[in-house]
């Protein structure tokens, strides 16, 4: 787990753009004894929407942590029509990882986790196969197999058990690390913008189950990987992170898979880190990714 140097608060904000927004938020912090340590802002001129991420040191802040949400809502958010989320860095989010049979993304996640790169806990790994239990055992993490059987038509039952497990483990967000199942709308609605998926193509190109085969057939010169929040529309949620690598006519489908898997694990881990660090602000079906 990443060590936290100081106790800080973070607010992510969007609102209609108007004069005085930056001054209002910074005055709120300064007038109450806070010390701003990071501030980023952006205005979407087409939408006329203002976005901000601000983080401040709570060491000398005079408003108790339990009162900050209500105070900011009453004094500022209502006045400026702000939508905001408040976070504290002394809270360690709890992440569940869903996997099937492929291990490359899981290993990268667990390597970063055990190295202490992230302020996160991983209490459980969920799968629809036994194949990766040995990985979970190696890292000392609970592993639960909840298999959806087409012939039994038990998807609703299995998802209900999955969601009960997530509630029991107090899970804040879910990572689909090449979990080869489509989630139902009920599952997605329970974790809005809290389910992170890795798709093995540069979306919106080559959606679906076999993008490397489709890329090979199309003769493209680059392939990519995309990490996004899951929505009811398949492979169409807000994009958090993407990357590409070049390929050529010499590459086979196996080469594309091998090169793509190198991208997948890095792109997914970068997306997870951005989510953990509260640097992602979702607006409509897009994200503002603060540095």
What domains, with CATH codes, occur in the chain?
A: 8-88 (3.30.70.260), 94-289 (3.40.50.170)
Buried b / exposed e across 14-38, counting CB within 10 Å, b at 16+? Answer: bbeeeeebeebbbebbeeeebeeee
Mean pLDDT to the nearest integer, 51-65: 97
What's residue 4's pLDDT? Answer: 64
Per DSSP, the three-state class of 93 is coil
Q: Given pLDDT bands bounded at 50, 70 and 90, which one contains residue 2?
A: low
What's residue 260's pLDDT? Answer: 95
Q: Given pLDDT bands bounded at 50, 70 and 90, which one contains residue 277?
A: very high
pLDDT of 3 > 60? The answer is no
Mean pLDDT to the nearest integer, 20-40: 97
Catalytic residue, from 235, 255, 262, 277: name it: 235
What's residue 80's pLDDT? Answer: 96
Cβ-proximal residues to 223 (8 Å cutoff; 6+ apart), any chain: 201, 202, 212, 215, 244, 245, 247, 256, 259, 260, 263
Dihedral, CA of residue 62, residue 66, residue 71 and residue 72, to nearest 10: 100
Percent of residues, the chain, with pLDDT higher than 90: 90
Is-catalytic flag, 235? yes
Q: Given pLDDT bands bounded at 50, 70 and 90, which one contains residue 209?
A: confident
Q: How far is the C-alpha of 207 from the C-alpha of 185, rounded, in Å?
A: 19
281: β partners: 288
CA distances from 198 to 102, 222, 241 (A): 12, 18, 9
Mean pLDDT to the nearest integer, 48-63: 98
The mean pLDDT value of the chain amounts to: 95
What's residue 7's pLDDT? Answer: 95
What's residue 269's pLDDT? Answer: 98
pLDDT of 149 > 70? The answer is yes
Q: Given pLDDT bands bounded at 50, 70 and 90, which one contains residue 208?
A: confident
Q: Given pLDDT bands bounded at 50, 70 and 90, which one contains residue 207?
A: confident
Q: Residue for token digits 């701003």?
A: 36
What's residue 96's pLDDT? Answer: 98
Tokens of 101: 């049979």
Mean pLDDT to the nearest integer, 127-151: 93
Sign of torsion, CA 289 66 117 132?
negative
Tokens of 11: 């607010």
């Amino acid at each position: 787990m990443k060590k936290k140097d100081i106790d800080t608060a973070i607010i992510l904000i969007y609102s209609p753009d108007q004069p005085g927004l930056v001054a209002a938020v910074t005055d709120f912090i300064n007038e109450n004894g806070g010390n701003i340590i990071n501030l980023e802002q952006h205005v979407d001129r087409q939408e006329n929407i203002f976005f901000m991420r601000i983080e401040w040191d709570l060491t000398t802040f005079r408003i108790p942590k339990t009162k900050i949400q209500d105070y900011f809502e009453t004094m500022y958010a209502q006045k400026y029509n702000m939508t905001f989320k408040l976070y504290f860095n002394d809270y360690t989010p709890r992440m569940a990882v869903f996997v099937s049979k492929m291990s490359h993304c899981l290993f990268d996640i667990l390597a970063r986790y055990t190295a202490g790169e992230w302020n996160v806990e991983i209490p459980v790994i969920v799968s629809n196969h036994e194949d990766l239990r040995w990985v979970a055992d190696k890292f000392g993490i609970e592993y639960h197999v909840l298999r959806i059987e087409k012939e039994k038509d038990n998807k609703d039952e299995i998802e209900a058990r999955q969601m009960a497990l997530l509630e029991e483990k107090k899970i804040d967000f879910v990572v689909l690390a090449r979990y080869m199942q489509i989630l139902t709308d009920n599952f997605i609605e329970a974790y809005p913008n809290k389910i992170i998926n890795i798709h093995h193509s540069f979306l919106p190109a080559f959606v679906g189950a076999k993008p490397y085969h489709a890329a090979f057939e199309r003769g493209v010169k680059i392939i990519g990987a995309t990490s996004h929040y899951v929505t009811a529309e398949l492979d169409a949620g807000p994009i958090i992170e993407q990357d590409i690598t070049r390929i050529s006519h010499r590459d086979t489908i196996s080469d594309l898979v091998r090169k793509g898997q190198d991208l997948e694990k890095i792109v997914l881990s970068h997306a997870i880190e951005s989510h953990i660090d509260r640097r992602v602000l979702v607006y409509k079906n897009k994200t503002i990714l603060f540095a």
